[in-house]
A and B are shown apart, each in its own frame.
Chain A
Amino acid sequence: MNITLRVWRQPDSDAPGKMHTYQVADVSEDMSFLEMLDVLNEQLTIDGEDPIAFDSDCREGICGMCGLVINGLAHGPGKNVTTCQLHMRSFADGDVIDVEPWRAEPFTVIKDLVVDRSSFDRIIQAGGYITAPTGTAPEANSIPVNKADADAAFDAATCIGCGACVAACPNGSASLFMAAKVAHLGLLPQGQPERHSRVLDMVDQHDAEGFGGCTQIGECTAACPKGIQIDLISRMDRDVLSAIAHRK
């Protein structure tokens, strides 16, 4: 199939950017979206042009490095897929496809489609950890965790921190990301000692980074490649309220 791409090109964070149009011929429908970009980049390199910068690592939907806004949707049209797992069969011959970087003030564009997501690292540093000494893996049944909690914690832990929730959110909020981390640790016994300070510190860092507030619209959960559910945000809100009530 033949595709027309409109891609955001921006030489560096200070320079202005704009959309550029490229033709990509003979695209196989079995290619992933990133492989299609690889093909275009080879062509650009041969033509002596600057290849398009974009992030990726595992290319199997588990690392959270990739992430593009495709036709205005974070990670494109697929449900529960990352950009690297989106295939060209989701598009049709002759399609014009718009490709842009995640957009939010804390996500500065470094070049073309690559954004700086170190704000997520700082939110984790603020509270997304436990202080229980772990050492080697303990005997599995030494601390019992009921099945429902273990499953819910695991579902939350599937968040790969890609940032699609922020990219999709009309408010530019990172609430779903934060809520997933808060739920993941807060559902398990090991996460209890810091449960209250964690949520307050992470929320403060989130706000200091310049992310917006959640208005419960649900675009985040619709864009999330891991299907993290919005009820985790409500759970985080409960944790904030109980943290305030128990403040010493």
Chain B
Amino acid sequence: MWRSTIVLKVAMAISGLILVLYLLAHMYGNLKVFAGQEAFDGYSHHLRTMGEPLLPYAGALWIIRVVLLVAVILHIYCAVTLWRRMRLATAGGGGQRYESTKARRGNQRTYASFTMRWGGVVIALFVVYHLLHLTWNTISPGGASGSPYERVVNGFSIWWVVLSYTVALLAVGFHLRHGVWAALASLGANTSQRRRRHLNVLATVVALLITVGFLIPPFAILFGLVG
């Protein structure tokens, strides 16, 4: 029962929605670059001091990190398991298992829906690259710095860094366009044909908001509108 296709999908839905909430908060935080270095670095500092003195330094941040890590691992574990079952059920062919090449896109399936798996892989690789870049600063295009604000501004002054983030965020946007709808439907929210349309509109709005919201700071920096 716990490993049934439906329970795995529900686990994916819940972990995915947790990550979406994180992305909304993260996107909002990033927009603070427009308030200048002091505000942005202050915000980064605040992330580490919030909850004090009840929690130790960076305690709240570490709680968030653990929740995120658990969500990511669960999400990927379920995705891989369901991906394998799809391959077993269709002799590896998935939506392309017929000889006929006349309906490769099926009846109505969206680009977003059939890029979920490889799109997810792209996003996972991006997160590693992104942590190496802006959290640990192991990769420091434009120059390393102890100030998160300077790391961001130095990085996004370079066109290929902006390009790499743009590609990743388009992947995130497509992933959420199908993912938010599918998560809500798998949790039981799709109660009628009308509701199906509403959930799809909601998913499109969330996907656009997150993609555009995240892309504003990098492009603003590239075009010299920040700092």
Contact = CB atoms under 8 A, between A and B. Distances in A.
Contact of B108 (A105, A172, A203, A218): A218
A173 B107 contact: no
Contact of B94 (A170, A216, A234, A244): A170
A203 B180 CA distance: 24
B82 A216 contact: no
Say which size band chain B's interface belongs to: 35 or more
Contacts of B104: 72
A234 B189 contact: yes
Interface in A81-105: 98, 100, 103-105
B84 to A, nearest CB: 9
A223 B90 contact: no
A178 B114 CA distance: 23
Contacts of A212: 5, 82, 85-86, 88-90
A217 B106 CA distance: 10
A47 B190 CA distance: 54
A63 B86 CA distance: 28
Interface stretch (B18-26, B147-155, B156-164, B191-199): B191-199
A69 interface: yes
Interface in A55-70: 69
Contacts of B182: 215-216
A151 interface: no
A100 B85 contact: no
A73 to B, nearest CB: 5
A31 B79 CA distance: 45
Contact of A230 (B109, B188, B196): B196
Contacts of A8: 99
Interface in B159-183: 178, 181-182
Contact of A217 (B113, B187, B191): B113
Contacts of B94: 170-171
A72 B103 contact: yes
Contact of A237 (B113, B114, B186): B186
Contacts of A237: 6, 9-10, 185-188
Contacts of A27: none
Contacts of B113: 215, 217
Interface string A228-248: 011101111110110010000
Interface string B23-60: 00000000000000000000000000000000000000
B86 A213 contact: yes
Interface of B: 1, 3-10, 82, 85-86, 88-91, 93-95, 97-104, 106-110, 113-114, 116, 178, 181-182, 185-193, 195-196
Given A200-B1, A215-B182, 16 more contacts: A104-B90, A203-B4, A211-B5, A212-B5, A213-B86, A214-B186, A216-B178, A216-B181, A219-B106, A229-B193, A231-B192, A231-B196, A234-B186, A237-B9, A237-B185, A240-B4
